[in-house]
Homo-oligomer: A and B are copies of this chain.
Amino acid sequence: MSDSNPSTGTLKLAVIPGDGIGQEVTAEALKVLEVAAPAGVKFEPTRYDLGAERYLATGEVLPDSVLGEIREHDAILLGAVGGKPNDPNLPPGILERGLLLKLRFELDHYVNLRPSRIFPGVTSPLANPGEVDFVVVREGTEGPYTGNGGALRVGTPAEVATEVSVNTAFGVERVVRDAFARAQRRPRKKLTLVHKTNVLVNAGSVWWRLFQEVAAEYPEVTTDYMHIDAAMIFMTTDPSRFDVIVTDNLFGDIITDLAAAITGGIGLAASGNVNPDRTAPSMFEPVHGSAPDIAGQQKADPTAAILSAALLLDHLGHAEAASVIEDAAIADLAAREAGSTRRTSEVGDAIAARVQG
């Protein structure tokens, strides 16, 4: 993280548009950020071309020198990472693990923050979703995402492949603490742990134990536990019951896409990969992927990227400017006419105009 003061002065942004629609939506998020900059704040964006194109051209995913440079920024704005599905020149997971997850792990983004709301004017595929406003605190540096595991006799009928989910008291406690603190600050003060303690008993018991221990320090927070499978049902039939959810890396990946789907689509879901200790820059990105099928066509909705930029501002201490962006995006959603399609840049322009107006 740079030494520049996060409140005023120059804020250094590492911008990684990535692949596919990541390029288009990031341009709009930057456009909106520029106009939303609070008085006395100047953004200094540095663009890093990382992703499928660079890998295919050079074989490089995330050179150490680039990682070192990215570290010296105040925050990172990321679009989306991932090439064409089943491109024979792109080994599966190479970009996800070598770039996106590498950034999350190296920069210790242990709080993967994913808010879900049904905004006015947005329709949910659920018949009666109720008032939905919750946030998922997904652990970001452990679980089945560690890349532990391996394979033996690959490509033969005797192949054995393993994936190891690693869960430490250190890693679980810090994200659980963050989730309790967040629940405490919200009006409903409710925290739900989602796991699969009845099957994954080793991982489950460290999550369960630390959830109970930290709960004792937050007597005002109501707690609740749900298996990941049961959470699918409640999320679909009664999403308004959730306030804050804390969960492991993989369950969080799964449940936040479901949450995005029921709250009006992945085109609206923002996220922050947060390092609450501020030992490295946090990274903000839409939940959606690179969508190679619609890339370069100005069809993608940049709202999720723009809302991610609002989370970035908030993280840097500019809560007011963050709300201005959020309000502008919400107003834009409410004003959308059914059936009308705007280009990616038109949505960005419209939101930028509301921020300025």
Contact = CB atoms under 8 A, between A and B. Distances in A.
A161 B170 CA distance: 11
A161 B203 contact: yes
B127 A97 contact: no
A242 to B, nearest CB: 15
Of listed A150, A153, A168, residue having the most chain B CB within 10 A: A168
Interface string A121-148: 0011111100000000000000011011
Contact of A163 (B202, B209, B225, B229): B202
A173 interface: yes
A85 interface: yes
Nearest to A202: B161
A150 B162 CA distance: 14
B208 A92 contact: yes
Contacts of A35: none
A271 to B, nearest CB: 12
Interface in A167-201: 167-170, 173, 196-201
A156 interface: yes
A156 B260 CA distance: 36
A57 interface: no
Nearest to A155: B209
A157 B256 CA distance: 29
A197 B228 contact: no
Contact of A254 (B149, B159, B254, B265): B254
A161 B198 contact: no
Q: How many copies does the complex hold?
A: 2
B230 A257 contact: yes
Given A161-B167, A236-B262, A257-B233, A151 B199 contact: no
B258 A236 contact: yes
B232 A258 contact: yes
Interface residues of A, number: 75
A101 interface: yes
Contacts of A233: 257-258, 260-261, 265-266
Contacts of A296: none
A206 interface: yes
Interface in A224-248: 225, 228-230, 232-233, 236-237
Of listed A170, A196, A265, residue having the most chain B CB within 10 A: A196
A159 to B, nearest CB: 4
A162 B168 CA distance: 9
Given A159-B168, A163-B165, A167-B161, A201 B232 contact: no
Interface of A: 82, 85-86, 91-93, 96-97, 101, 123-128, 144-145, 147-151, 153-170, 173, 196-206, 208-209, 225, 228-230, 232-233, 236-237, 250, 253-258, 260-262, 265-266, 289
15 contacts: A93-B198, A101-B199, A144-B144, A144-B163, A149-B202, A151-B205, A156-B169, A163-B203, A165-B165, A228-B253, A229-B257, A230-B289, A232-B255, A232-B258, A233-B257
5 residue pairs, one from A and one from B, having the closest CB atoms = A159-B169, A229-B257, A161-B202, A232-B258, A93-B201
